[in-house]
Amino acid sequence: MPAPITEEQNRLDREALLDAAETLFYAHGIQAVGMDRVREASGLPLKRIYRFFATKEDLVVAMLRRRDRRWRASLAAHVESVPDPRGRVLAVFDWLAAWFAEPGFRGCAWINAHGELGPSSERVLAEVRSHKRAFHDQLSAWVRATGVPVADGVCLLAEGAIVTAGIDADPSPAGLARAAVERLLGD
């Protein structure tokens, strides 16, 4: 009889599953990737996968939620290393430029999920909205610290740069958006 699976092994298997799903869904799309492909990439049997996540939708929601935490934490670490408020806002666009230039960049995972699934998955749509709201709030707080009331415009420029860079496979929208934000913030 095999040894029981430890809590640590459960955690490692769950992370490996989420890693595999995120890589596949981001690179190929949610609908194009079947659970057998996730099984192959994760190295876990389907029975074990479905113990972690009863449905593919559950897996997608968990993957987006985890990606949100990592994505926004990485952004915050970069931005908050800049000492002045105006510089922090501009650092958002420097961080975006670096992200856009990464190999395998395919745009915003949340916009991609929404584009694929639209309103057909209320839970995925709720996760997309949650991420967008959290990003907006995070960016708005940095903009408010400058004392210039342009948070919504800066947020739209950031989102527009993300979508445009994803569609065009070109990191230059981050620089264009950064230049526009510099003008919005003034001296």
pLDDT for 118: 83
Looking at residue 4, what is its pLDDT? 78
Domain at 64-185: CATH code: 1.10.357.10
- Which pLDDT score is estimated for 5? 81
Tell me the backbone φ, ψ of residue 150, rounded to 5 degrees.
-130, 25
DSSP string, 30-77: TTT--HHHHHHHHT--HHHHHHH-SSHHHHHHHHHHHHHHHHHHHHHH
pLDDT, one tens digit per residue, over 162-186 is: 999 999 999 999 999 999 999 999 9
- What are the residue ranges of CATH 1.10.357.10 in the chain? 64-185
- Give the pLDDT of residue 187: 75
Q: Which fold has domain 1-54?
A: Arc Repressor Mutant, subunit A (1.10.10)
Q: How far is CA 138 from the centre of its chain?
A: 14
Report, as ranges of residue numbers, the positions in the chain whose pLDDT lies below 70.
Answer: 1
Closest Cα to residue 42, out of 65, 57, 55, 59? 59
